[in-house]
Chains A and B, each alone.
Chain A
Amino acid sequence: MITSLLSQQIISGIAIGSIYALIALSFSLTVRALNVIHFAQGEFFMLGAFGAISCYMLLGLPFWLAIIITTLVVAALGIALQWVFYNKLWKSHHVFLLMSTQGTAIALANGAMLIWGPDAWRFPKIFSENVYKIGGLTIPEEMLWISFFAILIMIGFNIFLYQTKYGMGFRAAAQDRETAQLMGVNLAVADSFVFGSSAGLGAIGGLLIAPILFITPYIGPIFTIKGFTAAILGGLGSIQGAIFGGFLLGIIENIVTFWISSTYKDAIVFLILILVLLIKPSGLLQKKTIEKV
């Protein structure tokens, strides 16, 4: 009985965890390449969800097309913000960067409120209404699809980053900008890739989760902090760590909700964040501790 309840929580945790993993990945990308903690990550996520609503519900486009259009538009937005604001700010004190990404978050949330209104939107089930019952477990098929697509995107992204020439160039640029440039890497393209894919991955997270969440313009900040917590859990700046941290956080959160208290669920997430920062700032996966200044 206990084990089946536990496995039920773990399975539910994996679905939401795959979404946290996407956001954590977005965080880690800008941190590892440019040491920028981008605090509007949750807003890109929110825009992804609204993109799904606009394209799929309002315009009636097929879901796959909605995904492509939304992801590209949000990625373009990420790149545009980079060119207008962050390019000028990222060499200055981290306060300015953090504040400016916060400013972005405020502006995006309220821009979205103007377009889609302050009320919650409910997205129809896209994939399937089926619920599987295996043993004592109930598994909504929807969740399986969400995790499946999230994992597929992450695998695809990893293949690009680790198996292709351009992926290698971008990783090199994240380690040593000047030398990467000497090797022929175009830094402007590399930076835009970082900001664009970071925003785009967040948007995909929002797109995928739209069917199981009430969407409002104000869901951004909580996902920002959860994605960030996931990234910290796995080691901020690490690609694999972000994915690991996302799943771990999703599972922890579900177990806490079930076994301890749902009212204090978010408080416990924040507590985990603070504890990991204090005790193991380099994340649970990393062996050595790095001190970031």
Chain B
Amino acid sequence: MLKINKINVFYGNLQVLRDVSLNINKGEVVAMIGANGAGKTTIIKTISGILKPSSGEVLFEGEDLTKLKIPKITGKGIAQCPEGRRIFPQLTVEENLLMGSYTRNGDKAGKTKDYEWVNSLFPILAERRKQPAVTLSGGEQQMLAMGRALMAKPKLMLLDEPSMGLAPMLVKSIYDIVKTINAEGISVFVVEQNAFMALNHSDRAYVLESGKIVLSGTGKELLDNSEIKNFYLGKKVES
């Protein structure tokens, strides 16, 4: 469904991604793990069009996205849940969710249905409907960001470090939601430093180091890989 072909991405003179290729099939949960500054966010931003690669292509259902403007890419069915949530602080919770469906013109019934679905996934959001989003807790904000992305009725959802700054219990429930979303037929690409969670909940995964993909395989394979254990999981896997 999404196929990235040898992209190179620069910030000014600084090359951040080198010949990165990956693909995501329909219905899959694909994870990417990497240390701070490896370039994970850069990949997400390149897919959603915020950054343009200097070479290479990003194909979504056969169409090259690198030529398109950001709102167009969103309209194709790629929703992003950005790093640090990036909810609109002064908009209400409800308005934040509606912002997610900004590109969907018409289809009122569909939007209402999705709105109710999101509220059933995250009941807390329904309770906080009229509050400015800035008043939500970190975990609630993460849910809001995910709900907002879902309101776009995406075919592919990009998640950038959904577990950042959350308590383990919450991280678990976030990944449960990922499973539910995936069960609805939405493909998910999740980028994480929290390697254990991401690998455990993904069908396949990539490892990114200094802008290069150094390893890939199924989630299970990578979990058992000794290098991964050393570098990304530490002692966690033993416990």
Contacts and interface: CB of A to CB of B under 8 A. Distances in A.
Interface centre among B74, B75, B102, B152 (most CB of A within 10 A): B102
B134 to A, nearest CB: 10
B157 to A, nearest CB: 12
B177 interface: no
Instruction: Report the interface size class on chain B.
Output: 20 to 34
B99 A178 contact: no
B86 A176 contact: yes
B16 interface: no
Contacts of A180: 88, 99
Interface stretch (A40-48, A150-158, A163-171, A222-230): A163-171
Nearest to B95: A168
Contacts of B228: none
A183 B103 contact: yes
Contacts of A186: 71
B80 interface: yes
Contacts of B100: 183
B211 interface: no
B71 A184 contact: yes
Interface in B44-100: 48, 50, 70-71, 74-75, 80, 82, 86, 88-91, 95, 98-100
Contact of A182 (B82, B90, B95, B98): B82
A175 B103 contact: no
* Dominant SS among interface residues on chain A: helix
Contacts of A176: 86, 88
Nearest to B84: A179
Contacts of A181: 50, 70-71
A172 interface: yes
Contacts of A168: 91, 95, 98-99
Nearest to B100: A183
Nearest to B96: A172
Interface in A74-118: none
A113 B82 CA distance: 51
Given A180-B99, A183-B100, A184-B71, A171 B80 contact: no
Place the interface of chain A in its size category: 10 to 19
Contacts of B80: 182
Given A184-B74, A184-B75, A179 B102 contact: no
Contacts of A169: 99, 102
B103 A184 contact: yes
Contacts, number: 54
A31 interface: no
Nearest to B70: A181
Contacts of A184: 70-71, 74-75, 102-103
A28 to B, nearest CB: 13
Interface string B148-162: 100010000000000
B19 to A, nearest CB: 26
A172 B86 contact: no
B60 to A, nearest CB: 15
Contacts of B148: 183
Given A171-B90, A171-B91, A179-B88, A165 B98 contact: yes
A219 interface: no
A160 to B, nearest CB: 15
Given A168-B99, A169-B102, A172-B99, A182 B70 contact: yes
Contact of A172 (B50, B82, B88): B88
A285 interface: no
Contacts of B102: 165, 169, 183-185
B232 to A, nearest CB: 28
Contacts of A183: 71, 74, 99-100, 102-103, 148, 152
Interface in A179-207: 179-186
Q: Which 4 A-B pairs have the closest CB atoms?
A: A184-B103, A184-B71, A184-B102, A179-B86
Given A168-B98, A171-B90, A175-B90, 13 more contacts: A175-B88, A179-B82, A179-B86, A180-B88, A181-B70, A182-B70, A182-B74, A183-B100, A184-B70, A184-B71, A184-B74, A184-B75, A185-B102
Interface of A: 165, 168-169, 171-172, 175-176, 178-186
20 contacts: A165-B98, A168-B95, A168-B98, A169-B102, A171-B90, A172-B95, A175-B88, A175-B91, A179-B82, A179-B86, A180-B88, A180-B99, A181-B71, A182-B50, A182-B74, A183-B100, A183-B102, A183-B103, A183-B152, A184-B103
